[in-house]
Structure 1
Amino acid sequence: MPSPTTEEIIDLVTRRWDVLESLSDRALSKPELEATLGVSRSTVDRAIGELEAASMVVRDPSSGYRLTELGRPVYRLCKRTRRCLDAVTEAHSHGSAVPSGANGELPMYDGARLVSSEPHVPDKPLQHLLDTMREAESLRGYTPVVLQQYVEVCHKHATRREADVELVVPPQVHQCLRTTYPDEYRRARRASCVRLHETSASLPFGLLLFGEGADRTCALVSYSKAGATGVLFNDTASAIGWATQTYRELKADSTPVDQPKATQ
């Protein structure tokens, strides 16, 4: 019998998701599936028959039906995709809270926590972000905008040497820091714990990495003229891996502020 196509598997998983989920952590008999799902025996028979035909479940004489070597990875992959879709749907329901340009970055959505503006708390995303920045012992990231609150937090870290800070910014942000906040800029540049890089590359959202080791988390920040409109926080290994790689690529394409760019 030929193996099912990808389209057939997607259709089958969609229709029989409740059965796959019930069998994800243990084997069950047909009567147990009836009781767990609250459906008739004929419904269970049809579902098991379809899943057996696709080689996704098999009957174990001693314990009941269980997922196969094909069924287990298909279930895990589909469960992750469903989580991502739930997060994307929630993010899109908040409109501008979705970081523009990040919609295809599934690692950031899987397991993410979205903080978005609310009518009665318009600065909620910014306050959550600032709280995380203040508590971080290490801060690395990219910001396409200058916010006074960012300057204040980084200035505090510079003067008290409470955290290691490294930021990559586009030229217009660097220029704004120098001209609008000259005192804070000079003090931060003298602090060994604060490093600034300038890059011609750009992202349509902010990207921040907090902490080290097991305490790391990352954030994608969306902005409008009103400020930060939404933040996706994520501390999963896949999200941190994606954010770290993206930041490294930005930094590799940047120049330390104290180091003049080479002329061609």
Structure 2
Amino acid sequence: MARSAPFDLADVLLKRHKCLCALGNQPHAKPELVEALDIPRSTLDDIVRDLEHANLVEYHDGEWQLTLFGQYTLDHHARYKEGLATLADAIPVINELPQDTPVERRFLIDADVHVGTAPVPDEIMHVFLDAVESATHVRSVTPLAMAGYADSFYRAATTGSDVHLEAVLPLETFERLQTLHPDSTDKAMADDDITLYHADIPVTFSLWIADDDHAGLIVYADQGVQGILINDTDDALDWATDQYDRIQEDAEPIFYRGSVRHTAGFS
């Protein structure tokens, strides 16, 4: 039997999904399907005819059952619906991103979504701090720094032994942090386990990658943090790594000589 065209398959899947799910649980004879679906026998005949034509079901030993292709299709549809649910959960966060954002769908699918809530939306920063605290290698890019969490981030990202932190931020952001927190900034600069870079950051969100284990985004709103997205899928990590590498490639290191801050290319 010839395979249905993709658009025909999608149409059949949408219209005959209830029956397909019933057969996904276990094979059924027609009388059992009539009872399970609570439909007339003549309607069921039309349904199984469509499903059979689409190679989704087959008749075997007196029962209708899913074909292997039908099992794959039903599983794929379930994952698709789960992906849509993830996107829907992330709406409050996604809506704060600009229309030309580089954030791709592959980072959003299956992400854990944390939305800031009034009256203290920045309270969800503990999600970020907890995520980096257990990592040994953290790479991050940020267009801004939340001064109230700079020290907490430094402590969380350098907890334990054999850890390393790489951070890329605008030079003016670093200089502002240095003005507000000179002691902790000097300590970070003197730490061999920290490498700081400065660059123009072409995105409005902060991004981090922890141990190639997971990646995360911090999305901002006018009143602070709008939300945090964390994803550990291979697709999400590939996208996040591409973003980090692209920005870090054009970045310049910030380093100390004695007590004087220098940037590459300047003395």
TM range (shorter): 0.7 to 0.9
Change beyond 3 A, Cα 1:77–1:223: same
CA distance in 1, matches of 2:95, 2:226: 5
Post-superposition Cα deviations, 1:142-163, rounded to whole Å, max 9, x if no partner, equal 1121112441123325776654
SS at match of 2:225: strand
Counterpart residue number, 1:189: 189
Change beyond 3 A, Cα 1:112–1:179: same
Counterpart residue number, 1:53: 53
Post-superposition Cα deviations, 1:97-140, rounded to whole Å, max 9, x if no partner, equal 65545686222222222111223553343232223233433322
Please tell me the residue identity of whatever aligns with 1:14: L
Counterpart residue number, 2:252: 255
SS at match of 1:195: strand
Counterpart residue number, 2:115: 116
Counterpart residue number, 2:258: none
Please tell me the residue identity of whatever aligns with 2:122: D
Post-superposition Cα deviations, 1:181-238, rounded to whole Å, max 9, x if no partner, equal 33222211211211122233422222122245xxx22212210232211111222333
CA distance in 1, matches of 2:140, 2:193: 14
Counterpart residue number, 1:80: 79
- The number of residues matched between the two structures is 257
**Offset of 1:38 from its aligned partner?**
5.3
CA distance in 1, matches of 2:37, 2:102: 34
Contact (CA 8 Å) 2:28, 2:63: kept in 1 or not?
Answer: yes
SS at match of 2:82: helix
CA distance in 1, matches of 2:68, 2:26: 12
Contact (CA 8 Å) 1:114, 1:232: kept in 2 or not?
Answer: yes
SS at match of 1:219: strand
Stretches of structure 1 lacking an aligned partner (at least 5 in a row)? none
Change beyond 3 A, Cα 1:190–1:26: farther
Query: Highest CA radius of gyration, 1 or 2?
Result: 2
Contact (CA 8 Å) 1:168, 1:199: kept in 2 or not?
Answer: yes
Counterpart residue number, 1:237: 234
What is the 5 A alignment of 1:62-73?
Answer: 64-69=64-69, 71-73=70-72
SS at match of 2:90: helix
Counterpart residue number, 1:205: 205
Stretches of structure 2 lacking an aligned partner (at least 5 in a row)? 256-262
Counterpart residue number, 1:144: 143
Please tell me the residue identity of whatever aligns with 1:198: H
Contact (CA 8 Å) 1:188, 1:194: kept in 2 or not?
Answer: yes
Contact (CA 8 Å) 1:24, 1:67: kept in 2 or not?
Answer: no
SS at match of 1:144: coil
Change beyond 3 A, Cα 1:11–1:193: same
Counterpart residue number, 2:220: 223
**Which segment drifts farther, 221-230 or 57-66?**
57-66
CA distance in 2, matches of 1:164, 1:28: 58
% identical aligned pairs:
24
CA distance in 1, matches of 2:175, 2:116: 29
What do you get for the CA RMSD once the two structures are aligned? 3.3
Change beyond 3 A, Cα 1:40–1:99: farther
SS at match of 2:207: strand
Counterpart residue number, 2:133: 134
CA distance in 2, matches of 1:120, 1:111: 28
CA distance in 2, matches of 1:175, 1:165: 19
CA distance in 2, matches of 1:36, 1:7: 28
**Which segment drifts farther, 142-151 or 71-80?**
71-80
CA distance in 2, matches of 1:22, 1:103: 40
Please tell me the residue identity of whatever aligns with 1:239: A
